[in-house]
Amino acid sequence: MSVLTTHATTAPATVDLGPAAALSCRECGERSPLSPDFACPSCFGPLEIAYDLPAGDPEALRARIESGPQSIWRYAPLLPVPATVAEQPNLNPGCTPLVRADRLAAELGVTGELYIKDDSANPTHSFKDRVVACAVEAARAFGFTTLSCSSTGNLAGAVGAAAARAGLRSCVFIPEGLEQGKVVMAAIYGGQVVAIEGTYDDVNRFCSELIGDPVGEGWGFVNVNLRPYYAEGSKTLAFEICERLGWRIPDQLVVPIASGSQLTKIDKGLKELIATGLVEDRPYRIFGAQAEGCSPVSQAFRAGHDVVRPVKPDTIAKSLAIGNPADGPYVLDIARRTGGAVEDVTDGQILDAIGLLARTEGVFAETAGGVTLGVARKLIENGVLDPSLTTVVLNTGDGLKTLEAVAPTAGPTATIRPNLESFRKAGLA
């Protein structure tokens, strides 16, 4: 068995993954057949999906998308999934709110349009439902019987739920000490949840070893051997944002960085929309957001480096606590190519941003959402992000998942006796 592939129990002769044509190396460009591989056989560079994209009338494609289901499957012509995907049992994520944030804009001094892409509205309350949905279709195509992952929390819950819906076994691996809400959500779906002593990077290394062992036979690791298919789900964020804006690319996007895959695939999605004629080709800037306690990419950006030096995470934003982000160098390339930047904020700034978003727009973000808004605020104050342009800030998860982080700063305004005198004395009238 190749250390790069986990074989299905019975490998299918052919796979139907819609417009997906091949695997393509991001480094050397070599193409290979669709398979559960994540590294190029020639140079060991990362693999991604190459497509036969729809050609012809963009108006017809636009009409096809707009008449599709209210889920990411409306974009099936641009994803590695069969045309019949919506007929399969799945969680149907996507089509989450794009919130026009005028009150928040006023607080930040933004004069252009400001939006929050609120992915807490997905089935397990994070954007991970998007990527897992695509991974499940690849798992079905390759005949896998067990769905697995290494996770900082949100992904474990998304895999557990998606596997339960699809009738697959699940076994997920997490670092010990995650937020209780995320651990409970991962476990409630009936799969196995294995906590590993160490950081996420330790968990990820273990999963890579497990793939090459006979015990991993028939296992589809969504963010390892199924990673090329899984990662494509992040493109649907770009698709939805542009569709909701009237098929228009926003001027600026602020995206959180964990592994960096989400940011790189949002950029890929925008380029594919341009290539198919669904949107006008116009400049856009992508900004990456990290927590100061796990900021290897922002450190590299500030230093002008092309490589990312691993760090040991120490931040309340545990969903972003990946000290050795696989897509870090590609994030740097995109930020520089688009005229964006990569910045970080402290834990205190994260908490302030969570409170600001909640009280201005009624959106309770998890700590990763506090990172993106905190960074957006910092970039505006530093004159890096243009407040006169259309800007979209991503919130990738629900604040109920990270209650431990905000609990010390959010509680009862007062405790009173059940009478009007006590209420008046408390100065609440």
pLDDT in tens, 147-174: 999 999 999 999 999 999 999 999 999 9
pLDDT at 218 over 80: yes
What six digits make up the tokens of 85?
């995907």
pLDDT at 391 over 80: yes
3-state class (DSSP) for residue 352: helix
pLDDT at 7 over 70: no
* CATH at residue 302: 3.40.50.1100
Domain containing 263 equals 98-125+232-409
pLDDT, the chain, mean: 94
113-to-118, 143, 159, 186, 358 alpha-carbon distances in Å:
16, 46, 35, 37, 19
CA-based nearest residue to 118, from 401, 392, 367, 402: 392
CA-based nearest residue to 325, from 291, 279, 275, 366: 291
Is 429 a member of any domain?
A: no
3-state class (DSSP) for residue 232: helix
pTM: 0.94
pLDDT at 275 over 50: yes
User: What is the model's pLDDT at position 307?
Assistant: 95
Exposed e or buried b per residue across 371-400, where buried means at least 16 C-beta atoms within 10 angstroms of its C-beta: bbbbbbbbbbeeebbbbebbbbbbbbbbbe
Lowest mean pLDDT segment, chosen from 103-107, 181-185, 328-332: 181-185
CA-based nearest residue to 328, from 252, 261, 393: 261
Contact 354, 370 (CB under 8 A): yes
Is 113 a member of any domain?
A: yes
Is 219 a member of any domain?
A: no
Question: In the predicted model, what is the mean pLDDT of residues 367-392?
Answer: 98
Is 338 a member of any domain?
A: yes
Is 259 a member of any domain?
A: yes
Question: In the predicted model, what is the mean pLDDT of residues 66-86?
Answer: 97
User: What is the model's pLDDT at position 12?
Assistant: 58
Is 184 a member of any domain?
A: no
Name the pLDDT band for 14 (thresholds 50, 70, 90). confident
Count of the separate structural domains present in the chain:
1
Name the residue with higher pLDDT: 4 or 97.
97
pLDDT at 362 over 60: yes
Q: Which tens digits make up the pLDDT trace of 43-58?
A: 999 999 999 988 889 9
